[in-house]
Structure 1
């Protein structure tokens, strides 16, 4: 029987926490409407499933390590940043009931994020692993550059939206607060990933055997958990507000004709 390592303990932590985040995201999704919510709240659901799958793969590697298991672990680790960031693009959709920001803008941002995800998945398969020292490919670096841009853009959209709106409903205030309170944690998470992809400092490598599990825990795992816990808590509170507005498919696919009362 294999030995449970520090990193395996981190995987266990994720396996314990992310099912709760998954449940909260499903609850918010159902309250927002199953059809419309799919464009808004599917991302935290996706992130939770990725983290659960990655944790299971990591624990399987204790006694049944193989190349396929290693690839599964690497993919789950390296693609989680996309749904994490797209969660907040979705939050902006939920806030903007009167379409202060043109729908096409947010659609473009979402598409760019998904492109970054696809590029990242492709990049994992071409990244080299020299004696356990993970070397990100140019494709992975391009994906990371897209994620950095996504982080900046959704904050700019949030600031623009906030300045353009007049009176905020209670649920909108809570969702804006979710973005604000999560920002420091997401920033640290993005910085950690960027250092790992754009430098040769192996302590910051996510999947290298020479990476520091403590840095990984503090700058990656805990940052994600705290950010998502804040967002899910405020998201559940927002959808339970009496003034919560359930968007319609037309509001997500076309320019506004009249304001939502």
Structure 2
């Protein structure tokens, strides 16, 4: 029987935390409306399921340290950034009830993130050499896309805040706060992945890097960001002034609102 390592303990931590995040995300999704919330909260659910699957795969290596299992762990680790970022793109949709931002712009950011996800999945197999993971140009391109998407999210958050500030509802304030509080954590999380992909520092290498750095710069950052987001989002959807995304429309030019 294999020995439970420090990294296995990290996997156990994720296996404990992320089921609760799934439940919270499903609750918010239900309150938002399954149809209206499908472009928002499915990403938090997807991220949690990926982390659960990755943790299970990691624990399987205790007694079955095969190449295929290690690839599964690497895939789950690398592709989790996409649903993480898409969760915050979704928060902008949740906030923007009056579609102050062009829907095509938000959709475009989501599509770019999905392209990064596809490149990341495609790059994992080609980046594995003799059982050792070495990020290639495809993986680096994927990481570059994710970094660009994060910058765009920050810019859109500021722009949306400026536009809705005069008429901001309580639930919107809480969702803006969720993004603001999560941003420093996301910065550290993305820096960790970027260092692993763009440098040769072995401490940031997927699967074999420093478990302490992995815990502090990746796992805990992601967990705390999602917990903050779930807590504030649950509180937001329970507010009396909460409205579903897109349920409020700007009045057409020349017409009085409500007519």
* Match of residue 258 from structure 1: 251
* Match of residue 143 from structure 2: 144
2:230 is the counterpart of 1:239: no
* Match of residue 163 from structure 1: 162
* Match of residue 93 from structure 2: 93
In the TM superposition, residue 257 of structure 1 has moved relative to its aligned partner by: 5.2
Q: Distance in 1 between matches of 2:153 and 2:199?
A: 25
Structure 1, unpaired ranges of 5+ = none
In the TM superposition, residue 206 of structure 1 has moved relative to its aligned partner by: 2.3
For 1:18-167, what aligned pairs fall within 5 Å after superposition?
18-129=18-129, 132=132, 134-165=133-164, 166-167=166-167
Post-superposition Cα deviations, 1:88-119, rounded to whole Å, max 9, x if no partner, equal: 00000000001110000000000000110011
Q: Distance in 2 between matches of 1:17 and 1:257?
A: 40
TM-score of the superposition, structure 2-length normalised?
A: 0.94
TM-score of the superposition, structure 1-length normalised?
A: 0.93
Kindly report structure 1 stretches of 4+ aligned residues shifted beyond 2 Å: 128-132, 256-261
Query: Counterpart of 2:49 in 1: which secondary structure?
Result: helix
Q: Distance in 1 between matches of 2:251 and 2:125?
A: 48
CA RMSD of aligned residues (A): 1.6
Q: Distance in 1 between matches of 2:159 and 2:126?
A: 38
Q: Distance in 1 between matches of 2:42 and 2:242?
A: 19
Q: How many matched pairs?
A: 253
Q: Distance in 2 between matches of 1:94 and 1:206?
A: 33
Query: Counterpart of 2:167 in 1: which secondary structure?
Result: coil
Q: Distance in 2 between matches of 1:36 and 1:190?
A: 29
Post-superposition Cα deviations, 1:67-87, rounded to whole Å, max 9, x if no partner, equal: 221111010011101110110
Query: Counterpart of 2:36 in 1: which secondary structure?
Result: helix
Structure 2, unpaired ranges of 5+ = none
